[in-house]
C-alpha cells in the first residue's frame, strides 16, 4: 500500500509543479497543431520505448478521433510503428537516422513533428528534429525538465517538471491528450 500511495503522491506533486510557462507552451503547441490541421498538413509523432507507445497512441487519437468519428480524419502519422523500415534501415545504415529518413520521404514544409523523449537526448530523435527544423517542419518536443540536445531544434519545448522517467511519461500522455482534445474540439472538420 505504501508504494502505491507514494506513486500517486509523486504524480500529484509533478502535476502541481506545472508552471504558467509550461501551460503557455502547451497552449502555443495546441495553436500550432490546429493551424497545421487547418492547412491540411501532417503531424508526425516519434518516440523510443515507452515514449514510442505513447506516440503511437496519441497519433491514433487524432486519426480516429477522440470523441467522434470525423468525416475527414486528421493526417497523423507515428513514425516508430514501421518495424520493417526501422529494422532494415537500422541494420543497413544507422538506427540514429531512422526518423530523419522517414521525414525525408514523407515530410513537407509546414508539417509538424512531435517528439516524446524523457531525456531529450536520444540520437534518432535529435537528428529528426534537426532535419525538421532545417526543412521548416515545426518541432514540438515533450521532455523532462533537464536540458536536452533536442532543445536547440524545437520551436516549442514542453518540459515536464521532473527528472523521473515514470512521472515524465505520465505527464506526456496527459499533455498529448490535451493537444489532441484541443485540435479535435476546435477543428472545423
Q: What is the pLDDT of residues 127-185, one digit of tens each?
A: 999 999 999 999 999 999 999 999 999 999 999 999 999 999 999 999 999 999 999 88
The bridge status of strand 112-116 relative to strand 156-159 is unpaired
Does residue 44 have a pLDDT over 90?
Answer: yes
Confidence bin at 189 (pLDDT 50/70/90): low
Count of structural domains, the chain? 1
Q: Counting beta carbons within 10 angstroms of the beta carbon of residue 4, is it exposed (0 to 12), middle (13 to 18) or buried (19 or more)?
A: exposed
| Proportion of the chain above pLDDT 90, given as a percent | 86
- By the 8 A CB rule, do 153 and 127 touch? no
Can you list the positions of beta strands (E) in 9-82? 43-47, 76-78
**Terminal alpha carbon distance of the chain:** 46
177: domain CATH number is 3.40.50.10490
| Coil, strand or helix at 187 | coil
Neighbours of 3 (CB within 10 A): 7
Q: What is the mean pLDDT of residues 100-116?
A: 97
Mean residue pLDDT of the chain comes to 94
Cβ contact 58:80 at 8 Å: no
CB 125 within 8 A of CB 46: yes
Quick check: 18 pLDDT over 70?
Answer: yes
CA distance 42 to 159: 23
Residue range(s) defining the domain that contains residue 129:
2-186
Nearest to 172 by CA among 57, 77, 81: 57
Amino acid at each position: 500500500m505504501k508504494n502505491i500511495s507514494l506513486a500517486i503522491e509523486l504524480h500529484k506533486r509533478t502535476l502541481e509543479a506545472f508552471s504558467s510557462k509550461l501551460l503557455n507552451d502547451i497552449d502555443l503547441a495546441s495553436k500550432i497543431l490546429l493551424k497545421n490541421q487547418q492547412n491540411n498538413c501532417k503531424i508526425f509523432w516519434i518516440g523510443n520505448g515507452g515514449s514510442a507507445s505513447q506516440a503511437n497512441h496519441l497519433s491514433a487519437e487524432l486519426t480516429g478521433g477522440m470523441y467522434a468519428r470525423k468525416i475527414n480524419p486528421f493526417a497523423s502519422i507515428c513514425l516508430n510503428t514501421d518495424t520493417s523500415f526501422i529494422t532494415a534501415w537500422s541494420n543497413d545504415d544507422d538506427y540514429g537516422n531512422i526518423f530523419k529518413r522517414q521525414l525525408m520521404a514523407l515530410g513537407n514544409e509546414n508539417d509538424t513533428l512531435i517528439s516524446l523523449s524523457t531525456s531529450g537526448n536520444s540520437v534518432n530523435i535529435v537528428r529528426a528534429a534537426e532535419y525538421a527544423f532545417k526543412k521548416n517542419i515545426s518541432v514540438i518536443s515533450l521532455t523532462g525538465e533537464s536540458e536536452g540536445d533536442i532543445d536547440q531544434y524545437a520551436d516549442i519545448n514542453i518540459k515536464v517538471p521532473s527528472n523521473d522517467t515514470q512521472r515524465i511519461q505520465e505527464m506526456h500522455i496527459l499533455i498529448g491528450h490535451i493537444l489532441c482534445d484541443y485540435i479535435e474540439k476546435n477543428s472545423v472538420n
